[in-house]
Structure 1
Amino acid sequence: MAPMTKVARLFTDKSALGDTAIEHFDESLDAKDGEIIVSLDRFGLSSNNITYAALGDWLKYWEFFPTGKNGWGHMPVWGFANVVASGVDGIEVGERFYGYFPIASHFRMQPNRVNERGFHDAIPHRLELTSAYNFYTRCSTDAGYHADKEDYQMLFRPLFITSYMLADFLSDNDYFGAKRLVVSSASSKTAYGTAYCLEGADDIEVIGLTSAKNAAFVKSLGCYDDVITYDELGSLQAGVATTYVDFSGNNDLRLTVHKQFGMDLVYDCFAGTAANAETYDPGEVPGPAPVFFFAPIQIKKRNADWSPKVVTERFSASEQKFYARVSEGDEPWMRLAVHEGMTGAQGVISTLFHTGGNPREGMVVRL
């Protein structure tokens, strides 16, 4: 008879995203044929997770991990889990995987397409959801995995792939004739990851656009050629061909940018995610129509240009250098703030919801 274990799950009130509840129950560690049970070890939390929750019904984030409780959702997070029971050939007890999990101590999965890289969770309700969120990476074969950088991988990898491919896309297209990039929400991880990837490009000026509250932080990063607040947008020199790179999704700001730059605006790029590619409505604006950047399209192009192996090697090398930049030196871009257990997660979620958090802190929860 399989042993029993104490399971804990953290649920989010869909009507008040800062409010959470912990459920405890006993469950058998019996993995049926075709099933594994994993124990979530650690995960990252940031404002992106609050966005997942805020858009949970619209963009189906709540559907990945249904709770069965009306009005309550299971907030998804990126993290690491260990296999504690397996009924699947090719997946052994003790193996460690990285991927998209619910905030729960234990989680049952139905692996499919198992290979040396990892597997897809083929539990029926997930088959119609975005495939990228259903893949779990085997740490032992992941070229970009380093045990001492797990916390940074959880916080950045889901975002840095967009940063890396967006920078490549812009460079690959000669910035659409621009000599200046204006990047909104410059304090966001994906935005400054993109600026990092463009460092050293002498044919383009990268301007970080941010709130007054975050201006000092963004300036301290040193990856933007200049940093201005939203109120200072009018101070930018006219007559310079400009591409707008939008990480804010704020339509009022977009309209202001289009009116401000007029004929100087040559391209408008909304840097979103796979989940909102089909639902984002940029509104009516004068000048170039906003174009949604979808990283998988650029990945597909580079797979053809370079081969998938080279794409993986180049991305992994850049990713590791970025983690070093973020975590090392006298003034690292991010300090890890480690919180313990489900109650620790509750506190972080409340803080992120009510204040947005500190951009210099990386929130990590260890179970």
Structure 2
Amino acid sequence: MTAQHQTLEVRRDEIGTTRLLVEDVELKDGQVRFRVDRFAITANNITYAVFGDMLGYWDFFPSSQPDADDGRPGWGRVPAMGWAEVVESRHDEIAVGRRFYGWYPMASHVVFTPTTTREGFRDDGPHRQAHAPVYRAYVDVESDGMYDEAPDGEDRHAVLRGLFLTGLLAEEFFADGGGSGAEYFGTTRVVVLSASSKTAIGFAQRAALRKGVDVVAVTSTSNREFVENLGFYDQVVTYDEIDEIATEGGAVSIDMAGNPTSLAAVHRAFGDRLAYSMTVGRSHHDAPAAASNDLDGPSPQLFFAPTEVGRRREQWGTEAYDALCASALDEFVDGSRSWLRIDHRFGADAVEAAWREVFDGAVEPAVGVVAAFESFDETTGSSS
């Protein structure tokens, strides 16, 4: 059977350029069609587009026009975290009406080729075979140990869940020195660039629980008061105040911004006292990538969360890993109600406008954008 899908696509080499595509998509034997009920649009989605070729994000949901006629990169579909419901099924084990959390395109609908798992299903479409298991896993609401039944629970999970877990894993990486056993690589502070980003806030909330480690925020002047009021940072400085951070005892750094000027300032301030430089995102997507050979101290290392998921599950056991994530996420999401407001965007035009606003950096850190091609009841969360 064939149904019409609406999808937001972005130019792969000009990610501020978008289009809305309408196409008829056939459902084949063994496949399932989902209505994408809601998804978050954050600076992290911009990072997925920036690293789309390097880390394979463009391959999650391939465009029908990935290449342009002139040989340039064409259009791509950026993955987003959210919720979707089965509206049509030609798979014996997945019934209409079931609801799942996971990665979806910014679209009205999507078709998967599922293999059922204990918690839900794994997308086994041929284009997904090379992706990390965590990116292909979809969790049924009924078996989701992290599910938040509060009226705004799905919205907050769409915005925060993936970002917080990345922050948690990054903090755990520092906590055991990347496997060396030296907490925070033997230093006494961590410098957090782009400290107002939601991944950074999740990281800082976890880091603040460590004794003997100062958590230092680096942020813009406009976001300084917001960051200070979070209560997770021991010190807050602006980008032009990086040289005021004390260097005694050394530090590690975690960079959500991807701004080479700011990163170079941290490296210059600490030099050899910077024990580890971690890169997580590119919230400053318009800045050129830092040239590691021009930096004092260690070369920045890209943190890839799925690798750390595998290491921790092997080290702690899946049950212990899942329990930690569930309890930590519950605490973080509950606390977010004091600083994060959900902003709903309904309809194709609103989805496209939301992407442009996030791309332009026009969304305040105290706002989480949750979008959908169809509107839903904001009280019950059901689609209308």
Question: TM-score, normalised on structure 2?
Answer: 0.84
Taking a change above 3 Å as real, the CA distance of residues 154 and 89 of structure 1, as seen in their structure-2 partners, is: same
The corresponding residue for 1:152 is 156
Q: Deviations over 1:89-125 (max 9, x none)?
A: 321111001111112222111112x122122211112
Q: Deviations over 1:15-58 (max 9, x none)?
A: 54344333335556xx4321111111111111222232334344
Taking a change above 3 Å as real, the CA distance of residues 63 and 211 of structure 1, as seen in their structure-2 partners, is: same
Moved more, 200-209 or 67-76: 67-76
Alignment of 1:237-276 (within 5 A): 237-271=246-280
Secondary structure of 1:12's aligned partner: strand
Taking a change above 3 Å as real, the CA distance of residues 130 and 137 of structure 1, as seen in their structure-2 partners, is: same
Secondary structure of 2:343's aligned partner: strand
The corresponding residue for 1:135 is 137
Secondary structure of 2:92's aligned partner: coil
How far is the alpha carbon of 1:295 from its aligned partner?
3.5
Contact 1:35 1:88 in 2 (8 A): yes
The corresponding residue for 1:322 is 332
Question: TM-score, normalised on structure 1?
Answer: 0.87
Secondary structure of 2:292's aligned partner: coil
Alignment of 1:364 onto 2:366? no
How far is the alpha carbon of 1:195 from its aligned partner?
0.7
Q: 2:101 aligns with which of 98, 102, 105?
A: 98
The amino acid that maps onto 2:354 is: V
Provide the rounded CA distance (Å) in 2 between the counterparts of 1:311 and 1:214: 33
Alignment of 1:126-275 (within 5 A): 126-148=128-150, 149-172=153-176, 173-271=182-280
Alignment of 1:9 onto 2:13? no
Contact 2:192 2:217 in 1 (8 A): yes
Contact 1:302 1:311 in 2 (8 A): yes
Alignment of 1:84 onto 2:91? no
Alignment of 1:109 onto 2:104? no
Taking a change above 3 Å as real, the CA distance of residues 294 and 16 of structure 1, as seen in their structure-2 partners, is: closer
How far is the alpha carbon of 1:335 from its aligned partner?
0.5
The corresponding residue for 1:334 is 340
Provide the rounded CA distance (Å) in 2 between the counterparts of 1:179 and 1:213: 28
Secondary structure of 1:17's aligned partner: strand
The amino acid that maps onto 1:127 is: Q
Provide the rounded CA distance (Å) in 2 between the counterparts of 1:295 and 1:5: 35
Taking a change above 3 Å as real, the CA distance of residues 293 and 35 of structure 1, as seen in their structure-2 partners, is: same
Provide the rounded CA distance (Å) in 1 between the counterparts of 2:313 and 2:59: 31
Secondary structure of 1:92's aligned partner: coil
The corresponding residue for 2:286 is none
Taking a change above 3 Å as real, the CA distance of residues 281 and 127 of structure 1, as seen in their structure-2 partners, is: farther
| Structure 1, unaligned runs of 5 or more | 274-279
Provide the rounded CA distance (Å) in 2 between the counterparts of 1:72 and 1:294: 24
Alignment of 1:72 onto 2:75? yes
Provide the rounded CA distance (Å) in 1 between the counterparts of 2:369 and 2:332: 18
How far is the alpha carbon of 1:359 from its aligned partner?
1.1
Provide the rounded CA distance (Å) in 2 between the counterparts of 1:125 and 1:159: 24
The amino acid that maps onto 2:263 is: R
The amino acid that maps onto 2:101 is: Y
The corresponding residue for 2:58 is 62
Taking a change above 3 Å as real, the CA distance of residues 297 and 68 of structure 1, as seen in their structure-2 partners, is: closer
Q: Percent identity?
A: 34
Name the count of aligned residue pairs: 352
Alignment of 1:308 onto 2:306? no
Secondary structure of 2:118's aligned partner: coil
Provide the rounded CA distance (Å) in 2 between the counterparts of 1:18 and 1:326: 29
Taking a change above 3 Å as real, the CA distance of residues 23 and 261 of structure 1, as seen in their structure-2 partners, is: closer
Q: Deviations over 1:35-86 (max 9, x none)?
A: 1111111111112222323343444322322232343322321111111122
Taking a change above 3 Å as real, the CA distance of residues 67 and 303 of structure 1, as seen in their structure-2 partners, is: closer
Contact 2:344 2:371 in 1 (8 A): yes
